[in-house]
Copies of this chain bind each other. A is one copy, B any other.
Amino acid sequence: MNQRELKKLLTDLRKGKVPLKEAINRLKNLPYLDLGFAKLDTHRSLRQGFPEVILGKGKTIEQLKKIIEKIDNLEKNFLVTKLSSGVARRILDDFPHLSYFKEAQILAKKISKSKKGLILILSAGTSDIPIAAEAAVTAEVLGNRVQKIYDVGVAGIHRLFNHLKIIRKAKVLIVVAGMEGSLPAVVGGLVRGPVIALPTSVGYGANLKGIAAFLTMLNSCSPNVATVNIDNGFGAGYLASLINHGSV
């Protein structure tokens, strides 16, 4: 409620156009649905253009079903992320109209049809694909044109350079890498646009389950690179979509 709307409401109240109770409600209303164990942020689709996203990991099937039942009624679209295929199957039994993306471990209501701009998703290795897919499905559900180029890590950098044309055409890039996490810095130096660095826990030993990768990415010399959490494909896809759509 901005300054103008507030003035309007109070003027209307003084003039008797709006009853006292309604004024109180509008100033105090609950912008979420309270399930006790969860508070669905139903204003988020207004505030941020897309409903709240549910993190599947760490919730029981019962909790997930209750949340999905509510949000499915209220919203045109929604996402559940980090959802294992076993749990997804049991949810689809009750909600057969939803779509599950196995590689991405994402459950969604529907894929947006109108596609805009180009979000390019590059992965350093084959093992990074599930996290890259999480980012890709997120961005597609949110209405973006998405293209994927997998396994173009720096150990054979000519594989990357072969795609230079499409790389330079993308409006936003998501660069996914585990191990030493160097790919975002290299890509950052090749393009004009913003690069979202997405570290994964792929690797072993001194990768420290992804810490090595995010340290590399935070230290990137290319100033067009910003980093999200290890294995946070959803976050990368969401942010890329925001930048791609470009309006507030």
Contact = CB atoms under 8 A, between A and B. Distances in A.
Interface of A: 2-3, 6-7, 10-11, 13-14, 16, 20, 23-24, 27-28, 30-32, 36-39, 41, 43-44, 47-49, 52-53, 55, 57-59, 63, 82, 124-127, 129, 150-159, 162, 164-165, 168-171, 179-182, 185-186, 188-194, 196-197, 199, 201-232, 234-235, 238-239, 242-243, 246-248
Given A27-B6, A204-B230, A215 B218 contact: no
Contacts of A171: 247-248
Number of copies: 8
Q: Which 8 A-B pairs have the closest CB atoms?
A: A205-B230, A58-B127, A226-B226, A182-B182, A180-B219, A41-B156, A212-B215, A223-B238
Contact of A14 (B20, B37, B127, B243): B20
Contact of A155 (B170, B189, B232): B189
